[in-house]
Structure 1
């Protein structure tokens, strides 16, 4: 096995030369030193902020995907493409509400139960299982809404829940066009559901889809407008609405961190923390995984987004993963992924590898689909001494980083 030649650093070097730019010129434009860029291009270190990677792509006149080699999004993913995506695409292109046909009208209780099961599998990072479930879910949700009356709230809620989980999955797997389509359909149906929490769920997915296509301004504006709209209605006796509003504050905090606006990111985390206190415990209302522990996890992610490995390590010390509800394996894995990034930035590769292995143990598919995790592996493999890093090499092979 050998370290792959298609690292982010090598791609940056290739596109920089095509643009006729020196290392000193490009590094200066992103506020870094020439030696920093030289190390990135040689694979000695990784790009330590997602915002810097976005800046590099704009300066080099390429999409972020051209630098990463894989699809990119806010919680960047895009490794091994799950089988069955084309079946999802086919289901989405049936347009049974306009053309008729499709499945028999399902029992709404059974449809919502199936959608809930898909959400659970998604949160457990069983993405391949959800891919198999989604085409039937979509067909049933379409049939239910097509045959529902204008005031049939249950059919609309079933439709929103189905299309939200489909959008989560597709965005996670880097299928940006379908992620945007499913998020938009959920948002369009949310009004019929007569539910503020359903509207918030749908808008959260639209925000995620916008971020997937690097439309950061529009994503931020939509998230902030929705928090402003939902905020006055938040009450302790409506935990779903508290959770959805809190989740929107959390994604808004990550957006601020992507812009390197540390103070604003902290302010938004404080808003989310207040809602977590109002909720009073860790929960999973509206499939948000929202609660005090998820806020603590996002403090780690925000520090990583800001490129501050020391702050990420400090924030992780306050996270009690045992407080998370059962089944939220992807949330558990995210802490280890952020810690792996922080340790790799400090060149503590043994500790970084242990965190990657812990993330894989919790949620193997989450690691295999994560661009940052894959780039961490490439960076550490490139600087590993001969004979060292056998555990890392094995993990990289399982994740598709090595052939």
Structure 2
């Protein structure tokens, strides 16, 4: 459906799919436990659909994916960073049948890259992800996946374990980038392959890191309860390692529960959200400072960011408005700073502080144009603001809407 409903708000997409399903407002409202008046206002942009738990209930009732209502995936723009072969090339790499089974006796041709060079290349992709340079990462990943596969097949002993570790982190990098682009099905394939490679590496930190990616993939597909269960199970698997945890382990453990807090908030489960955030606080306290071990950006500031985001997901916008603007994210990677700005903009917009919200989105765009362009929240906010203008939108808003391709 990419392109058909791009210039519609989420409420307008609900109306579009409802008519496609040939069901009335009365029927749909009943299926999601709402009034006809509420649904009518949502479809006509008089109520903002800003909570994913509510949007997911509408998607389920309409028998469409969460991505259908969010207008995802988005088209990755061609840039000097990306070149002209982007997601389709990465899809081809992930669907390489040689990665599925050793039963056919097929080995990948080519000399293995040295593990040091492979490690540097993996770090380059992860750094690009945290810099919100998704086009660059997408262009680099197909070749990197091929190199990682050759290395995992060619090396033996401890070098083979290291190769599997690097292959796992490559798949995780692909999963994280694809999730940002809304390519949730491809992200699931990458996370699943990465978890299998992590288990071959024998490295608990890497395995924990891949658990986090699987949780994010479940979140992006709207499977909030499953993500909560996964985090609980993975936490139990990792918990014995807390007794002598390294900073890397604490960071992986903490970010796993950050993902869990988002899942439970989107599942409208306040108690579990509090439990997970308490667990995260303990890990952050032990770590003692903001850090970026294994590209987690974990520490007290990221915990504070998630307190804002989970409050917004639970409908507590006042908490998000009070807390969000006070958090200093200057020391965090671009991806984290940008995501927080969008969250604060959502909260400010809910309180009709559109000028302040627009300033937050514009600031985020100045840091990470690719991330802002690909995030449903930015597109939805801007489109809703344009729709709500009585006259011509301001030049800043109109230009932003044009850059995000929402009008």
Could you tell me whether the CA contact under 8 Å between 2:12 and 2:44 is conserved in 1? yes
Would the alpha carbon gap of residues 249 and 393 (structure 1) be closer, same or farther in structure 2, given more than 3 Å must change?
Answer: same
- Specify which of 344, 366, 380 is matched with residue 349 of structure 2: 344
Structure 2 counterpart of 1:75: none
Q: Does the alignment pair 1:14 with 2:55?
A: no
Alignment of 1:236-255 (within 5 A): 238-255=246-263
**Whole-Å separation in 2 of the counterparts to 1:197 and 1:308:** 34
1:5 deviates by 5.3
Structure 2 counterpart of 1:233: 241
Moved more, 218-227 or 361-370: 218-227
Structure 2 counterpart of 1:106: 113
**Whole-Å separation in 2 of the counterparts to 1:290 and 1:196:** 17
RMSD, aligned α-carbons: 2.2
Residues 144-198 of structure 1: CA deviation (Å, up to 9, x unaligned): 0011225432112111111111111122212223211211111111122221111
Residues matched between the structures, number = 391
Structure of greater relative contact order (alpha carbons < 8 Å, 6+ residues apart): 1
In structure 2, runs of 5+ residues without a counterpart are 79-84
Structure 1 counterpart of 2:81: none
Could you tell me whether the CA contact under 8 Å between 2:67 and 2:182 is conserved in 1? no
Would the alpha carbon gap of residues 90 and 27 (structure 1) be closer, same or farther in structure 2, given more than 3 Å must change?
Answer: closer
Moved more, 201-210 or 126-135: 201-210
**Whole-Å separation in 1 of the counterparts to 2:233 and 2:276:** 13
Would the alpha carbon gap of residues 6 and 289 (structure 1) be closer, same or farther in structure 2, given more than 3 Å must change?
Answer: same
Structure 2 counterpart of 1:92: 94
**Whole-Å separation in 1 of the counterparts to 2:108 and 2:49:** 50
Q: Does the alignment pair 1:178 with 2:218?
A: no
Structure 2 counterpart of 1:368: 373
TM-score (norm 1): 0.90
- Specify which of 263, 267, 275 is matched with residue 275 of structure 2: 267
**Whole-Å separation in 1 of the counterparts to 2:69 and 2:237:** 38
Could you tell me whether the CA contact under 8 Å between 1:80 and 1:400 is conserved in 2? no
Residues 95-153 of structure 1: CA deviation (Å, up to 9, x unaligned): 45642234421000110111011101101100001011101110110010011225432
Q: Does the alignment pair 1:198 with 2:206?
A: yes
Structure 1 counterpart of 2:218: 210
Q: Does the alignment pair 1:378 with 2:383?
A: yes
1:220 deviates by 2.0
**Whole-Å separation in 1 of the counterparts to 2:6 and 2:390:** 16
**Whole-Å separation in 2 of the counterparts to 1:336 and 1:342:** 10
**Whole-Å separation in 2 of the counterparts to 1:208 and 1:5:** 26
1:4 deviates by 7.5
Could you tell me whether the CA contact under 8 Å between 2:134 and 2:370 is conserved in 1? yes
**Whole-Å separation in 1 of the counterparts to 2:7 and 2:254:** 42
Could you tell me whether the CA contact under 8 Å between 1:123 and 1:330 is conserved in 2? yes
Could you tell me whether the CA contact under 8 Å between 1:203 and 1:226 is conserved in 2? yes
Structure 1 counterpart of 2:395: 390
Moved more, 379-388 or 144-153: 144-153
TM-score (norm 2): 0.90
Could you tell me whether the CA contact under 8 Å between 2:383 and 2:406 is conserved in 1? yes
Structure 2 counterpart of 1:74: none
Residues 253-295 of structure 1: CA deviation (Å, up to 9, x unaligned): 1111001112221221111011001001101111111111110
SS at match of 1:234: helix
Q: Does the alignment pair 1:123 with 2:125?
A: no
In structure 1, runs of 5+ residues without a counterpart are 72-77
**Whole-Å separation in 2 of the counterparts to 1:318 and 1:244:** 26
Could you tell me whether the CA contact under 8 Å between 1:249 and 1:269 is conserved in 2? yes
Structure 1 counterpart of 2:300: 292
**Whole-Å separation in 2 of the counterparts to 1:242 and 1:235:** 10
Could you tell me whether the CA contact under 8 Å between 1:262 and 1:306 is conserved in 2? yes
